[in-house]
Each structure stands twice: as C-alpha cells, then as structure tokens.
C-alpha cells in the first residue's frame, strides 16, 4: 500500500486532536515508506437539522483513513460517517478506511425479542457499501465482525491500559484481584489477570430490565485485596457501582475500575461520585473532559501503529500476541 496516506478528521470536532497526534506519531517513524498527510473534513448541519459533510482537501488516488468523532450523538455520527465515505469515494480516493475508536450501535448485535432490528448489522451493511476497511476498539460483541465483508480490525485496548497501570501504579498491583462485572466480561478479565499475574473473580448479576441491575453475588475471593473491575464500556455505571459496593462488603481494599469506552450517559458521573470507587480509568476512544476521579489513557499510539502497519502491508494481529 505504498503511496500517499491521508489522515482525515473534522477540525471543529472532538476527534481532531486525536487525529493530529496520530499523524504526528506516524511521521515520527523513521522506517516509514509512505508519505502521511493530514487532511480536513467539514461536518455541519443545515437549519433543518440535516447533516452536511465535505472533504476539504484533494484525496484523488490517496489512501484515506477517516477518524470519526465518537462524542457525537449516535444518529449524527452514523449519517455523517456515511456522507464522508460517499464524498471520499466520489472524490476518487484510492481506498477508504473508517477509524472508529468507539463503534456506536455495536450493542444491538442480536434480536433480544421478536420484531426488533439488529442495528449492528444495519450499520455493517451501510459502511460496507463504500468503505474498504474498518478499525475500531473492543467491540461489545467481537462476533459483530462477522457482519462485515470488508477487512475489519477490532483492536484490544487492554495491553495499553495495563502498560499504563504498570508504569503509574505498581503498588496497587502488588495485592490484586481482577474482577469481571458479569460473565460476558470474564474473558477480558482473564486477559488482564494473565498479564498482571493475579487471580480472577466474577460478580454475577440479574437484570430487572434494561439498565436496572437486580441481585448480585461475588464468585471468588476478594477480601483483603485491591480490586480492579474491568469491562469494555461504562455507560450509566449502575452495574459497576453496585459491584463496587458488594466488593467492599466482601472486604475488598482499594476498588478501581478500568474500561475501554467511557460512555458515561445519564447519571453516570453522579453514580461514580457516590460510589465506593477510588479510581476509574478509561481510554480516549470517546473524548473525555476533566472528570474528577476519572483518569484517561490515550490510545493514539495503538491507532497510529495500526494505521502504519496497514499502510505498510504488515500484520496487525501481531500487536496482541
């Protein structure tokens, strides 16, 4: 894939700083064979609310990586993504790669009841019409990649988050148990525990309805240990905060949470502020402001390395061996 590679983003959106740092990281690589450029995309609304997108640079015969703003509302995010893809194809881009640090609609990945859509599949068909590849991080259900018929790189954030913990909080890790907040997070918890050389516990929950957690029990020993609860995302933080309270009752010492995507919807910040958590760590897959006890770890290096590997025809999976 040797040639000119464009890193594109909306300079007025929250992804611009991320895209600019990716571009700077790529150009700092002395072994690069391709020329990396930084380009601008305009995304705005007409008075009636319709989205308008325009590519503000020449993309003809260029390999384009469009880094989208994960902080946008879901509907605006999806429509603007389709419009940018269409604009790039119509402008004779050599290839179009959607870089989506947080993939919206990925949670609606199956029919949970009759007569409901599989929204993740709808999005896959829409993206696949014009994009040539997708890069994202920690899909809610990795099986969603099967809905795509184009190259799809579902990156894992945990090595970056673990590296941050090892560098900044070695004392916390000395007496640690990793906790999965539900069975679905067990594999991620095992990945953390393997690299941190510690044991795993699981909190088992029942849901009264969507977004409302019922009873919760702990499977595993947490008494007298520091606890790191890991998950792919934190939404309202209801599950995590209830888990933290149960773990404190079971004798846990310091209680931290670590997640890839900080969605933080509804009363999330209030829930966290009133919880037993000492610290909450998330990545910048969704841009975050200054949030008190919440710390943000950047995935710029991970995405820059991935884009560099793709543009040089090298393996991406080797990053996670």
Contact criterion met (CB below 8 Å) for 294 and 262: yes
Rounded distance between C-alpha atoms, residue 185 and residue 231, angstroms = 6
Local structure of residue 36 (DSSP, 8 states): E
β-strand partners of 37: 6
HSE-CB at 149 with a 13 A cutoff on CA atoms is 6
How many of the other CB atoms lie within 10 Å of CB of 90? 11
CA dist list (Å): 240 to 37, 79, 180, 273: 41, 32, 10, 12
β-strand partners of 53: 43
> Tokens 């384009």 identify what position?
64
Angle between helices 119-128 and 74-90 (to 10 degrees): 20
Rounded distance between C-alpha atoms, residue 276 and residue 281, angstroms = 14
Catalytic residue among 190, 205, 254, 279: 205
User: According to DSSP H, which parts of 197-314 are helical?
Assistant: 238-249, 268-273, 300-311
Active site residue 205: yes
- Give me the phi and psi of 4, to 5 degrees please: -85, 130
Residues identified as active-site = 205
């Amino acid at each position: 894939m040797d040639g000119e590679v464009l890193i594109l983003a909306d300079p007025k959106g929250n992804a611009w700083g991320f895209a600019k740092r990716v571009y700077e990281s790529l150009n700092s690589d002395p072994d690069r064979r391709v020329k990396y450029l930084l380009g601008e995309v305009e995304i705005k609304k007409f008075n009636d609310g319709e989205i308008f997108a325009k590519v503000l640079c020449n993309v003809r015969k260029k390999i384009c990586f469009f880094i989208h703003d994960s902080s946008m509302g879901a509907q605006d995010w999806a429509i603007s993504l389709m419009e940018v893809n269409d604009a790039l194809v119509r402008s004779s881009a050599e290839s179009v790669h959607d870089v989506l640090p947080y993939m919206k609609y990925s949670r609606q990945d199956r029919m949970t009841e009759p007569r409901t859509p599989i929204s993740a599949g709808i999005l896959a068909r829409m993206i696949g019409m014009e994009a040539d590849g997708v890069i994202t991080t920690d899909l809610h259900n990795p099986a969603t990649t099967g809905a795509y018929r184009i190259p799809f790189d579902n990156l894992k954030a945990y090595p970056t988050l673990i590296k941050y913990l090892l560098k900044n909080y070695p004392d916390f890790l000395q007496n640690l148990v990793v906790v999965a907040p539900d069975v679905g997070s067990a594999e991620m918890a095992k990945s953390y525990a393997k690299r941190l050389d510690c044991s795993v516990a699981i909190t088992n929950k029942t849901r009264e309805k969507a977004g409302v957690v019922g009873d919760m029990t702990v499977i595993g020993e947490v008494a007298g240990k520091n606890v790191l609860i890991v998950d792919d995302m934190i939404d309202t933080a209801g599950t995590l905060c209830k888990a933290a309270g149960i773990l404190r009752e079971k004798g846990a010492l310091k209680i931290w949470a670590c997640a890839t995507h900080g969605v933080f919807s509804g009363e999330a910040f209030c829930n966290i502020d009133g919880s037993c958590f000492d610290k909450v760590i998330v990545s910048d897959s969704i841009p975050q402001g200054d949030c008190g006890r919440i710390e943000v770890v950047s995935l710029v290096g991970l995405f820059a390395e991935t884009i560099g590997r793709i543009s040089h025809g090298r393996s991406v999976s080797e990053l996670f061996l």
